């Protein structure tokens, strides 16, 4: 079984930190990533039917979010961001998510 959140989590940890520091310097991405690691679910990908994204690789993110009943997908990927709300799941940039998280505190 493919562990659906492993690749996205690695992407957030490796490439996301650099971008987050540029886009939202006051935010502490390490805390958010710790939270994501603690809350991540192991899911089997849900069938999504017809192709949703221009990039076939993005389908697994949609399938994982759908299977996990996620409220949001965090991504820098332009193809994913252009979908806005596939299956009612919001697609947003991680920096916007961090700002939202900090506003809740």
1 within some domain: no
The pLDDT, as a whole number, for residue 4 is 46
Q: What is the DSSP string of 24-62?
A: -TTS-HHHHHHHHHHH----PPPP--S--SSSGGGHHHH
The pLDDT, as a whole number, for residue 48 is 85
Residues in the chain with pLDDT < 70? 1-9, 11-12, 14-17, 20, 25, 27-28
Q: Residue 13 belongs to what domain range?
A: 6-104
The pLDDT, as a whole number, for residue 2 is 38
The model's pTM: 0.62
21 within some domain: yes
60 within some domain: yes
Provide the domain count of the chain: 1
The pLDDT, as a whole number, for residue 7 is 62
């Amino acid at each position: 079984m493919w562990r659906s959140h492993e690749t996205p989590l690695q992407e957030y940890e490796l490439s996301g930190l650099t971008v987050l520091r540029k886009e939202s310097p006051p935010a502490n991405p390490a805390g958010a990533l710790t939270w994501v690691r603690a809350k991540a679910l192991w899911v089997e990908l849900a069938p999504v039917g017809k192709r949703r994204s221009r990039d076939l690789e993005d389908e697994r993110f949609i399938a994982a979010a759908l299977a996990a009943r996620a409220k949001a997908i965090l991504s820098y990927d332009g193809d994913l961001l252009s979908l806005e709300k596939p299956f009612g799941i919001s697609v947003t940039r991680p920096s916007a998510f961090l700002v939202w998280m900090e506003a809740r505190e």
